[in-house]
A and B are shown apart, each in its own frame.
Chain A
């Protein structure tokens, strides 16, 4: 069934990566000095790759649109990073992390990639600690772990609620070290607008200097995109305002297949929307589900305050439906369950689109332990709550502060109100085992590629994948390609392919500036987001998707005839930047709906209402859809489907159950 080759090495699953590493062709040090690699994006996947390749001796150019590589959105990841260290002696292993990830992804990820990810996970923790990343520790001085959804072991390493920040600053410091040594040329406030292909191979990029508006040409023997996910296609998401699909989409238009675009992760615990002015949504880390219990009133349209609803009138619906995993079911399951309760009329808060996340029971439990430690026997409730609050504060203080700041409510006293929101995109550019896209010499790492999380990503696995790709996988696999490029001299950027790519980029910018319509870029972005959320969001169906495709096509036509971009292209012009990104989101949105319509099954984050079990769980069709849908861009805005069959030789494919 496959018509694309994923280049997975032969041999036993557990030996593939080891064998690959020892047999991959190498590039000798003097050749590395003349080989140039372009890395777009400076988040975990980009910064770690840029630093590591420079350490190895390659000439690296790294690009980011922010004012500093330290601002990349990896910084906002809160909860943690998984690694199969088994420090807790709770039965964890590389196989178990591999198994949990495949199962969590609803059997839609590639076995060989996921096993490699699990294998290198332990090295990531070692590397980060060596860099001085201050991960949380126990009193004995050893690293602490916590639980995350979809697993029954404690394998998540963390730094309070700022794990992404600390890991990114680690990668950033490694990158800055190389910049200081002159081995990486850093281009901040630059946005990639085109991939340059020569004789079918990626040989550079066109980038816009966002300060001056100047269009620049940059050559590279290979190009790596670590440009993050496309959740902002929904307008409202937990992504940063600038997160975008443009680099990946331009690559797609140059021949890189886009895989499984419909797999989007809706995170169950976000602060609910408060009004039409809302520009983004804020996540409350999944780690809170370690100590927070999720509930709604048992009575419909119950308007009492949470504190006035007695215990026996509360429905702890996750504990009720999924006794084995309880509040720690995977994200897709928890999100759908919240939507189900709210749709059925049990939601809370002014909008009724929220459920409670309640810390009271565990605060009291922690308080009892603390009281006992301080020799207080039979403590009263007040003492327990006071002492327990201190424990909760130490674990999640920054998240509670953030919640209070945004909602104006005190979460230590009243339960948090939460609702699902778009958070992560499992789909992305198709890559083979080497992380190379379908364009030779063009690589894709981290969230921007599709490869490791199947149809649903487990919590604390995004940081793991970003750093695995950048520190430990790409530096090996890119050598396999570059070892054949050693005789290629740097190609001058007056080559016709550069000129032509620059013309394409300039043409789009000029068109956008000259439409001079009546509606702002945000106006179109919000309308696109609304279509996507309503018809290609947490639940999808054939009718809605068909409507969405028509609506998006109409929106695209309207955008290109009526958008208003003020100012000129030769200056710092954020509206122009946004316009280019929204233009790409509109095309991507259509492809997401096409992909969701094609996939006549439910799996992970992709829930087609027509395909569910009697209990409302996702119903896969392994006969028909155990494949990666890799879409090729065709002239106009059309897409052709290619299939990569997923073979499960080491895991028995089963109905996913967290009961």
Chain B
């Protein structure tokens, strides 16, 4: 069994709730194993704090295998930390060095208000999906699945867009706090599939309208979202969404 010998200094954002101001607080940690995940390192910190009679750091996490999208730490200026294509829960301490100082903050965006410490409210994403991120098919209405062959390349492209875990790293890293990568991934998934065609132009208009209403910023083609996305969602999706949004004005019989 591994016992660690890494010593670290953490600067962690502590904020009681949305009505109070927060600040970075320093913590020293010793005996960290390089095999620990970043969140397991936080478990050690919290166990220490509880033992000392202090309040543990609140952070979102659940599956701890990189798929639920719940974990959301902004580590040394990057969402999900220094490694590409991983979530915070899959980041391991071997990516850091003994003696490092690590700064950990919550996602920062007007549309993602801080709830407490490192936890933010991402319900804006749900409302964007509720505005049109679906195909309107009630249970029981489906035909046999193989009656609708879909070219493999197209299905694979839809799958790649659908791999988004809704963590919000794209928003957190964007200087405009734009949600274009998230929104365009869902729009693309459905626009690439034949099932998504009937509502294609209505969908893009409703979802973009909701995105704007939630207070997300605009896209200025910096590409930080793609670079920081733990699932490698491509900027092409944004281009596709923009095309569809522009086309919607001409092709759609109904404007939303």
Measuring CB to CB, which residues of chain A are less than 8 angstroms from any residue of chain B? 48, 51-52, 55, 66-71, 73, 75-76, 85, 87, 123, 125-143, 159-160, 162, 164-166, 169, 172-174, 176-177, 179-180, 186, 188, 211, 238, 240-242, 274-280, 282-283, 351, 401-402, 405-406, 408, 471-472, 475, 520, 522, 564, 566-567, 571-572, 574-575
Contact = CB atoms under 8 A, between A and B. Distances in A.
Most central of A66, A87, A138, A351 by chain B CB within 10 Å: A66
Given A138-B152, A241-B62, A279-B43, A162 B141 contact: no
Of the listed residues B33, B94, B135, the one surrounded by the most CB atoms of chain A closer than 10 A to its CB is B135
Contacts of B135: 130-132, 173
Contacts of B63: 71, 73, 75-76, 240-241
Contacts of A274: 1-2, 35
Contacts of B85: 401
Interface of B: 1-4, 17, 33, 35-37, 39-40, 43-44, 47, 49-51, 53-56, 58, 60-70, 85-86, 90, 92, 94, 115-116, 119, 121-123, 125-126, 129-146, 148-152, 155-156, 158-159, 162-163, 165-166, 189-190, 193, 195-196
Contacts of B43: 277, 279, 522
Contacts of A166: 159, 162
Most chain B CB within a 10 A radius of its CB, from A127, A131, A136: A131
Nearest to A401: B85
- Majority SS at the chain B contact face: loop
Contact of B149 (A75, A141, A172, A282): A141
B158 A242 contact: no
A141 B152 CA distance: 6
Contact of A572 (B86, B115, B143, B149): B115
Contacts of A67: 60, 70, 121-123
A494 to B, nearest CB: 29
A174 B3 contact: no
A165 B149 contact: no
Contact of B39 (A55, A279, A472, A566): A279
Contacts of A169: 162
A279 B196 contact: no
A174 B131 CA distance: 12
29 contacts: A66-B68, A67-B122, A85-B146, A123-B140, A123-B142, A130-B141, A130-B143, A131-B135, A132-B189, A134-B158, A134-B189, A134-B193, A141-B149, A142-B146, A173-B129, A173-B134, A174-B137, A176-B133, A180-B130, A240-B64, A275-B33, A276-B1, A282-B64, A283-B65, A351-B1, A405-B92, A522-B47, A571-B17, A575-B50
Nearest to A188: B123
Contact of A475 (B126, B131, B139): B139
Contact of B136 (A164, A177, A572): A177
A506 B142 CA distance: 46
A402 B230 CA distance: 12
B134 A279 contact: no
Nearest to A72: B68
Nearest to B161: A134
Given A274-B35, A277-B36, A520-B47, A127 B122 contact: no
A575 B85 CA distance: 30
Given A132-B189, A241-B61, A70 B126 contact: yes
Contacts of A401: 85
Contact of A127 (B1, B142, B148, B151): B142
B67 A574 contact: no
A217 to B, nearest CB: 23
B134 A520 contact: no
A329 B2 CA distance: 33
A177 B207 CA distance: 12
A520 B65 contact: no
Nearest to A172: B129
Nearest to A178: B130
Contacts of A172: 129
A169 B121 CA distance: 19
- Select the residue from B54, B115, B146 with max chain A CB neighbours within 10 A: B146
A68 B130 contact: no
A351 B37 CA distance: 19
Given A127-B139, A130-B141, A241-B61, A572 B68 contact: no
A575 B155 CA distance: 43
Nearest to B138: A55
A406 to B, nearest CB: 7
A475 B165 CA distance: 29
Contacts of B163: 162, 165
A520 B148 contact: no
Contacts of A85: 145-146
Contacts of B47: 520, 522
Contacts of B148: 129
Nearest to B60: A67
A408 B115 contact: no
Contact of A176 (B2, B51, B134, B165): B134
A156 to B, nearest CB: 14
Contact of A75 (B39, B67, B116, B151): B67
A240 B68 contact: yes
Shortest 4 CB-CB contacts between residues of A and residues of B: A141-B149, A180-B130, A173-B134, A130-B142
A165 B67 contact: yes
A563 B66 CA distance: 31
Nearest to B191: A132
Nearest to B86: A405
A402 B83 CA distance: 13
B149 A142 contact: yes
Given A280-B64, A402-B90, A571-B116, A471 B139 contact: yes
Nearest to A573: B58
A406 B137 CA distance: 39
Of B33, B39, B44, B162, which is in contact with the most chain A CB atoms at under 10 Å from its CB? B162
B131 A180 contact: yes
B33 A277 contact: yes
B70 A71 contact: yes
A173 B133 contact: yes
Given A169-B162, A275-B1, A572-B119, A162 B126 contact: no
Given A130-B195, A138-B152, A405-B90, A520 B139 contact: no
Contacts of A143: 145-146
A160 B232 CA distance: 15
Contact of B92 (A75, A174, A406): A406
Contacts of A76: 63, 65, 67-68
B195 A277 contact: no
A159 B146 CA distance: 16
